[in-house]
Structure 1
């Protein structure tokens, strides 16, 4: 696996999209930046990070054995890899806030963004972006943010954490390539934040309502039990969990 370490870049995901296209990349590529000036999360949100203190990287990988309809399994697998590493580092109560945030208790410690590379109408590759708070302990106007150091009091070497994450990613990629989709989905659902508990949601139209998270669909939509025990499906643009 090729690893490109950069000091400053706009976005590791955008950088990978550019070089993978220019080089017609076939091998796995990791781009690790000490600072991102335009890091992104889901729905175009900006990922804020203090230079040199956190881990911001992206992985390019060919995934021709996975279809477009199965791409959410890659996000689930990435979430589980991060969860495993954080648990190994003795971070407590690690949960996945649908679809792509990693929490400890109620605080966000990591965000994940996956973007698909489509060729000829088929899923050709995926670019996985990870922003993990490691040694930063203070944030401006970012509620409920935390880090590994904030939780453990230990200062970690970023490369050590990256190595642990890449090893875990390989484990889950192997499961994907073996078709172990149920194993991944069951594990992801077992660690869903607020699963089987009443929670308040905000619809895209501004309506607040209470529902109970029951799981996710194969395409990644949230399964929400509402009034009269009816289970409805929502995608990311339709729903926000208030917590």
Structure 2
């Protein structure tokens, strides 16, 4: 396992992408930073973190010898890997907020950004992960929390990283064995607000109610609306409100 530790970098995902463009990169190469000056989340959102207090890393996964027909399974697998690690730390009320935010008791403790590398086909993927670990104050982020805020325990970042990598290999193995249904079923069982009355906002800013049923193999959210109609939404089409 190749782990590259950096003091500060604009973005670990960007660092890995530049590495890939210049040289061969080994499977499961990991870039860890104590501080990111331009950390990124889903939909272009910035990921802010105090230096040295949280776990920020990007992982390179070689897919050249493994045909991944539906890329969203990568997102499901890494979400479940992080969930598995956090469960061993006894973090309570863990859920996945579609598509891949990790929550504990309605508070966001982890974000994931996946950037696939296409060379005629899906060749590899860069998985960026930010876990709020030992930071205790989040200015202007009322929905954010950390492992330390939740349990009162100060954690070793390297130990959590090692556990996440190990659990990522476990779920990657399931995909390689084509156990897609097992991964999808476990992901859906872990979905935040599944089968509960929930409020959503569409691209026009209109609010509507529905029940989360699950996801499609393409990663679209399945929502049961009025009259038992099931509608599928892409990430850019809908926002699940807390």
Which TM class, normalised by the smaller chain length? over 0.9
1:69-127 C-alpha deviation (Å, 9 max, x unpaired): 4110011010001111111101111000000100001100000111100002x000000
User: Given that residues 133 and 148 in structure 2 are in contact (C-alpha distance below 8 angstroms), is that contact kept between their aligned partners in structure 1?
Assistant: yes
Q: CA deviation at 1:207?
A: 1.1
Cα deviation code 1:26-64 (max 9, x no counterpart): 433100000011111110001111100000000011113
Q: Shift of residue 133 of structure 1?
A: 0.5
Quote the Cα distance in structure 2 between the aligned partners of 1:2 and 1:25: 9
Does residue 96 (structure 1) correspond to residue 96 (structure 2)? The answer is: yes
What is the root-mean-square deviation in Å for CA atoms of aligned residues? Answer: 0.9
The alpha-carbon distance between structure 1 residues 80 and 27, as it changes in their structure 2 partners (threshold 3 A), is closer
Deviation, 1:227, is: 1.2
Shift of 1:25: 2.4
> For 1:20-99, what aligned pairs fall within 5 Å after superposition?
20-64=20-64, 65-67=66-68, 69-99=69-99
Q: For each residue in 1:108-160, what CA deviation from the matched residue of structure 2 results, as whole angstroms up to 9, or x when unmatched?
A: 0000111100002x000000010000000001111211111111111111101
Regions of 4+ moved over 2 Å: 24-28
Cα deviation code 1:158-188 (max 9, x no counterpart): 1011111111111111111111110000000
Q: Hey, what's the Cα distance between the residues in 2 that align with 1:210 and 1:14?
A: 38
TM-score by length of 2: 0.98
Alpha carbons 2:79, 2:100 under 8 Å: kept: yes
Q: Distance in 2 between matches of 1:53 and 1:134?
A: 6
**Number of aligned pairs?**
241
Q: Which residue of 1 aligns with 2:217?
A: 218
Q: In structure 2, what is the equivalent of residue 142 of structure 1? A: 141
Aligned to 2:106: 106
Q: Which residue of 2 is the match for residue 200 of structure 1?
A: 199
Q: Which segments of 5 or more consecutive residues in structure 1 lack a partner in the other structure?
A: none
Q: Does 1:233 align with 2:232?
A: yes
Is the 8 Å Cα contact of residues 96 and 190 (structure 2) preserved in structure 1?
yes
Q: Which residue of 2 aligns with 1:129?
A: 128
Deviation at 1:66, TM superposition (A): 3.0
1:177 paired residue number:
176
Runs of 5+ unmatched residues, structure 2: none
TM-score normalised by L of structure 1? 0.97
Contact 2:3 2:30 in 1 (8 A): yes
1:11 aligns with 2:38: no
Question: Does the residue aligned with 2:155 lie in a helix, a strand or coil?
Answer: coil
Separation in 1, partners of 2:28, 2:54: 22
